[in-house]
A and B are shown apart, each in its own frame.
Chain A
Amino acid sequence: MKRFLTIVVVLSTLAVTQTVKAWNNIGHATIAVIAERHMTEEAKEKCRHYLKHNLPYYSAWMDYWRNCPGFEHTTSWHSVPVDVNNKQIKGEINNAAYQINRICKRMRKYHKLKDSIVADNLKYLIHMVGDMHCPTHTKYSPDEPNLKQRSVKMNGKKLGFHSYWDASIGYYNKGMKCDHIAAKYDTLTEQQIAEICEGTPNDWALANAEQMREIYTLLPVHSEVTTLAEQNHKRMEEIVRVQALRGGYRLAKILNEIFSK
């Protein structure tokens, strides 16, 4: 009960103070730190060579640039649109999984690309691999109105369902810095990590689409977040943790593969 009350207080406080966008800054930075913890020395060194920074620095880069001239087309690259069978919409290039695949293919010959192009591709990957694992970044079909991202309430005030989940890592880890959250989350065994990293971005998108349907029942439309059942908060917190880990481990896998060649 004490823990639940803490969450309620945290939610109430952050509702006022936190700015939300995508997995917001702390979420993206946490995922990037998790990734760095699992990258090979070679991959880390290569990323630093091209980015001139560590991974977390550019983790929210796409969000800052999406509204700038020349970057408008990337604004729809943050999520994965799927049909009623959880399959990606065929031919839809405004899709994070599609763009990740495209960039991975291009990066197979990274050494033949200009340094600035490699750097930009890395910035996209760092962000999009994180974003495709954000619980609300599977865009379900309009044919499923119960999966529409409507608003909820926090202390009686309207709050976007999407915004709530984007900021959820911060909500469930009040006062913590991204690298401390990453250390707290990152406790899986090598075997568990290997299982998470199996498959391709398309497989991960499919699994996300199957599993993230749950969040719409855990946090129903118009519900009051601060008075939600403790068991719902516990489950939501677990989803957030697992999705952050998936994003981090899989990002590391992608970068390790790119730079092992």
Chain B
Amino acid sequence: MRRYIVLALCLLAIGTASAWNKFAQQCIATLAEQNLTEKAKIETTKILGGDLASNSWWLQTLAKQEETKHTASWHYISVDAELKSTTTSEKDGVVQIERCTEILKNRAEHSDSTVVAALKSVIHLVADMHNISHIKIANIPDSKRNFKFQISNGFKGKKEKIAQSSWRKYWESNLIGRHASFSAELFAADLETCYGADKERFSKGDVRHWAADVASLAAPQYKWAKPDMIMSREQDNRLEQMNDKTMARAGYRLAALLNKIFK
């Protein structure tokens, strides 16, 4: 019980963290919402007083307060050299999702504010654990830091422009930024068109399996991604699909988890 009180206090307080940007979080939550069972939708709406998307940024807003700086680590997950998630550290996103899931399953034993905080955290953290730059792989040092690099616009000569970016900024906002003019509903509809047939396959397993799966997508990126590299426009274009893939997985898995909790 004491553990849960500490968690609730942590959740309700403010911390600093990095996350998939607000639009990406909303798209993932919207996709999840569209895949909730009727019962899960009723329960989540009752707890949140609104939809998943409008509560997807809450954990991020708990930023910049001294007493909860430690929550920043929750936005990342760690896997071992075999890409398995085996950690029990409370600093890890997977462990926090598991903990919040338990609160939600046993919600009758907790205060309303604890339940609300747990649900909002699950929405945010399931998304964040699918961000390629949020997977820390034991034997890949570059996966554990936010290195700077440059992106070329593809032109040669005078017209060439090189933009500065960082590994996390790139995966958190550069790629999804291409579709920033879409509403979250429009982008979620596109993910459904593209990945709807795969939703059952994506949703299988538990959060530890999902961590291993997304780590298997992240690990190969470090074969080419190096600090101070100049990324070509072509490479930049090709990575867009990878970003979509992980967003779709996040949306369907968030729905699967909530459907299981509120069955």
B234's nearest neighbour on chain A, judged by CB, is: A68
Partner of A179, one of B153, B180, B185, B232: B185
A55's nearest neighbour on chain B, judged by CB, is: B190
Contact with B along A44-71 (1 / 0, CB 8 A): 0000100011101100100011111100
Q: How far is the CB of A119 from chain B (nearest CB, A)?
A: 13
Decide yes or no whether A26 CB sits under 8 A from chain B.
Answer: yes
Decide yes or no whether B233 CB sits under 8 A from chain A.
Answer: yes
In the bound complex, residues from chain B placing their C-beta under 8 Å from that of A68 are 154, 232-234, 237
B180's nearest neighbour on chain A, judged by CB, is: A25
In the bound complex, residues from chain B placing their C-beta under 8 Å from that of A54 are 186, 189-190, 193
The answer for the CA separation of A67 and B234 in the assembled complex, in Å, is 8
- Contact between A67 and B155 (Cβ–Cβ < 8 Å)? yes
Contact with A along B156-179 (1 / 0, CB 8 A): 000000000000000000000011
The answer for the CA separation of A60 and B234 in the assembled complex, in Å, is 14
Q: How far is the CB of B109 from chain A (nearest CB, A)?
A: 41
- Contact between B186 and A56 (Cβ–Cβ < 8 Å)? yes
Q: How far is the CB of A143 from chain B (nearest CB, A)?
A: 27
Q: How far is the CB of A148 from chain B (nearest CB, A)?
A: 20
* Given the contacts A25-B181, A178-B181, A65 and B190 also touching, CB distance less than 8 Å: no
- Contact between B182 and A56 (Cβ–Cβ < 8 Å)? yes
The answer for the CA separation of A172 and B253 in the assembled complex, in Å, is 38
In the bound complex, residues from chain A placing their C-beta under 8 Å from that of B186 are 33, 54, 56, 177-179
Q: How large is the interface on A (under 10, 10 to 19, 20 to 34, 35 or more residues)?
A: 20 to 34
The DSSP consensus for interface residues of chain A is helix
Q: How large is the interface on B (under 10, 10 to 19, 20 to 34, 35 or more residues)?
A: 20 to 34
In the bound complex, residues from chain B placing their C-beta under 8 Å from that of A52 are 193-194
A61's nearest neighbour on chain B, judged by CB, is: B237
- Contact between A177 and B233 (Cβ–Cβ < 8 Å)? no
- Contact between A53 and B194 (Cβ–Cβ < 8 Å)? yes
The answer for the CA separation of A157 and B252 in the assembled complex, in Å, is 47
Decide yes or no whether B183 CB sits under 8 A from chain A.
Answer: yes
- Contact between A48 and B193 (Cβ–Cβ < 8 Å)? yes
The answer for the CA separation of A68 and B154 in the assembled complex, in Å, is 6
- Contact between A60 and B194 (Cβ–Cβ < 8 Å)? no
Q: How far is the CB of B75 from chain A (nearest CB, A)?
A: 26
* Given the contacts A54-B190, A57-B190, A68-B154, A178 and B234 also touching, CB distance less than 8 Å: no
The answer for the CA separation of A24 and B185 in the assembled complex, in Å, is 21
| Inter-chain pairs besides A53-B190, A57-B194, 4 sampled, C-beta below 8 Å | A25-B179, A56-B186, A65-B233, A178-B183
Can you give 29 contacting A-B residue pairs, CB < 8 Å? A25-B178, A25-B180, A25-B181, A52-B193, A53-B193, A54-B190, A56-B186, A56-B190, A57-B179, A57-B190, A57-B194, A64-B233, A64-B237, A65-B234, A65-B237, A66-B154, A67-B153, A67-B233, A68-B154, A68-B233, A68-B234, A68-B237, A69-B234, A177-B181, A177-B182, A177-B183, A177-B186, A179-B186, A180-B183
B contact residues vs A (CB 8 Å cutoff): 153-155, 178-183, 185-186, 189-190, 193-194, 232-234, 236-237
A contact residues vs B (CB 8 Å cutoff): 25-26, 29-30, 33, 48, 52-54, 56-57, 60, 64-69, 170, 177-180
